[in-house]
């Protein structure tokens, strides 16, 4: 489906958006990728949403990416006798392994891994950082703390430990079950939560066995510290600003977001900016000006996609939230400043033939009167490299593999078109011209740039750049076999 923008929109499905009519309306409003949150709903409920998305995809003949987001290990306190307590600043509070219900002086924290990792002076955050505790003394089964920032604490509130690396695997037993389920179902992207080290990604990749692309959610300080190593072993990144803003000073998040986006672009790997982008639209049909500015900033920075969470999953105005993102993206990308920023940040120097070809394709397209860049790709790499260039004309990613088309639906600027397997270069030129016309990017009097690899249908062989007419009569009269 042709969009009027390059940045992609990811929307989370939930109770407010799990019907066929709503999912179709969301896609038509602008959603390119649907996120299935494995933290909510049963596997059968996830299966039903997946089936509806694929039905909509078939109805509209428009490749749609599906992202399954694994829950990751959840660290939570136990129960309180009265359900909740109010912690006062300066008070003492104990966390321990005693399963007895808690009170105003203590509560169970059923995670011995935390007690094994912490030491005096470490901060513990409860309820998304609203409550801050400082560890005064600790042992294998307890931590005596001082309440630095008090507040209401209740049953099963989450705990963050920002100052230490926890000896926890990114994949819980639930995650392993959900991973196999999602891969067997046929999702296109798998998002990993709680990533702290390279091994968390390589472990998941061994289990995925190539059935889905792997996206790392950067939500832990250790993932930020080791980002370049983690980026090298994943396929894409989600900047999960919610947890980052809990575990790091909030003022540190914007520069981290900017750095991560730039590094992802340099590596030609898609990056999503997520969390609280239009949060007021959960209950209001209109966003705040600050939220619009936040979405615009992510687009100006060059992100591949922006994401809706509760806004589309549980909000009252899911379609309006998508339409708002769509309008903001169109407005930003029409701003001459946007093109200047994108061009100024283009500092990638590749060393392969494919790097040279995609760079040349962009320069030719922006110098001459070229309407689109058509790239034939099997693995998706050529389209990713082309998107890294952020050209000023549309990118048409042409592939014979449905899975590649779906995964590329997340990538900046890519309109994905299915094509049959090709045997001759002339067939590729004709198919590219037809696709450019069919998508409304060009007419018969226009020209396109085409990149491809010979032999065809072999990943990693991009070695041809061709400026071609969109008039098939000219192609047949001038192109070699």
**Residues designated as active site:** 35, 76, 217, 275
Pairing of strands 84-87, 151-154: antiparallel
Distance in Å from the first CA to the final CA of the chain = 31
360 closest CA partner among 270, 467, 221: 467
Distance of CA 32 to the CA centre of its chain: 11
CA separation, residue 237 to residues 65, 85, 215, 220, 231 (Å): 15, 38, 5, 13, 8
CA separation, residue 207 to residues 185, 186, 191, 295 (Å): 14, 14, 13, 34
Give residue for tokens 């996120």: 35
Partners of 11 in beta bridges: 34, 308
Give residue for tokens 């066995």: 209
Q: What is the dihedral of CA 471, 475, 478, 481, to 10 degrees?
A: 180
Residue 166 and residue 197 in contact, taking contact as beta carbons nearer than 8 Å: no
Round to whole Å and give the CA distance between 452 and 458: 10
Phi (first) and psi of residue 292, to 5 degrees: -60, -40
CA separation, residue 344 to residues 21, 271, 303, 337, 366 (Å): 42, 19, 15, 10, 15
Round to whole Å and give the CA distance between 263 and 232: 10
CA separation, residue 71 to residues 128, 190, 208, 222 (Å): 16, 11, 16, 18
Residue 439 and residue 463 in contact, taking contact as beta carbons nearer than 8 Å: no
Distance of CA 374 to the CA centre of its chain: 24
User: How many other CB atoms sit within 10 Å of the CB of residue 255?
Assistant: 9
Ramachandran category for residue 276: left, alpha or beta (phi over 0 → left; psi -120 to 50 → alpha): left
Structure tokens belonging to residue 459 = 């990943």
433 closest CA partner among 400, 462, 467, 471: 471
Round to whole Å and give the CA distance between 446 and 172: 54
Residue 293 and residue 302 in contact, taking contact as beta carbons nearer than 8 Å: no
């Amino acid at each position: 489906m042709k969009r009027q923008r390059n940045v992609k929109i990811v929307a989370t499905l939930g109770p407010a958006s799990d019907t066929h009519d709503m999912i179709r309306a969301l896609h038509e409003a602008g959603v390119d990728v649907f996120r299935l949150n494995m933290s909510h709903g049963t596997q059968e409920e996830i299966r039903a949403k997946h089936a509806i998305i694929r039905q909509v995809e078939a109805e509209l003949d428009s490749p749609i990416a599906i992202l399954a987001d694994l829950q990751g290990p959840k660290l939570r306190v136990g129960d309180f006798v009265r359900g909740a307590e109010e912690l006062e600043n300066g008070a003492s509070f104990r966390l321990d392994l005693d399963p007895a219900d808690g009170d105003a002086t203590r509560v169970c924290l059923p995670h011995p891994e935390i007690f094994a990792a912490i030491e005096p002076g470490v901060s513990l955050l409860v309820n998304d950082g609203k409550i801050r505790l400082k560890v005064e003394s600790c042992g294998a089964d307890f931590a005596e703390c001082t309440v630095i920032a008090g507040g209401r604490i209740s049953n099963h509130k989450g705990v963050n430990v920002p100052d230490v690396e926890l000896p926890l695997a990114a994949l819980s037993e639930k995650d392993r079950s959900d991973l196999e389920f999602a891969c067997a179902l046929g999702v296109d992207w798998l998002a990993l939560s709680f990533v702290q080290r390279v091994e968390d990604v390589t472990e998941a990749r061994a289990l995925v066995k190539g059935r889905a692309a792997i996206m790392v959610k950067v939500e832990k300080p250790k993932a930020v510290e080791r980002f370049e190593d983690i980026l090298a072993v994943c396929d894409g990144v989600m900047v999960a600003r919610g947890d980052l803003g809990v575990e790091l000073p909030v003022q540190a998040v914007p520069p981290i977001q900017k750095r991560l986006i730039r590094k992802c672009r340099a590596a030609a790997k898609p990056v999503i900016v997520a969390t609280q982008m239009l949060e007021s639209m959960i209950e209001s049909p209109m966003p705040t000006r600050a939220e619009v500015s936040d979405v615009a900033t992510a687009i100006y920075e060059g992100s591949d996609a922006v994401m809706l969470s509760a806004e589309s999953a549980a909000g009252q105005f899911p379609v309006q939230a998508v339409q708002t993102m769509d309008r903001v993206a169109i407005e930003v990308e029409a701003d001459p400043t946007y093109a200047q920023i994108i061009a100024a940040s283009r500092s990638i120097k590749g060393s392969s033939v494919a790097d040279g070809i995609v760079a040349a394709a962009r320069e030719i397209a922006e110098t001459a009167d070229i309407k689109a860049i058509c790239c034939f790709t099997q693995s998706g790499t050529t389209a990713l490299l082309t998107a890294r260039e952020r050209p000023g004309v549309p990118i048409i990613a042409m592939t014979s593999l449905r899975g590649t088309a779906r995964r590329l639906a997340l990538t900046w600027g890519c309109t994905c078109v299915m094509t049959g397997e090709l045997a001759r270069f002339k067939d590729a030129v004709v198919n590219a011209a037809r696709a450019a016309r069919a998508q409304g990017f060009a007419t018969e009097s226009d020209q396109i740039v085409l990149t491809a690899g010979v032999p065809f249908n072999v990943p990693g062989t991009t070695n041809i750049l061709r400026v071609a007419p969109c008039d098939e009569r000219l192609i047949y009269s001038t192109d070699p076999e």
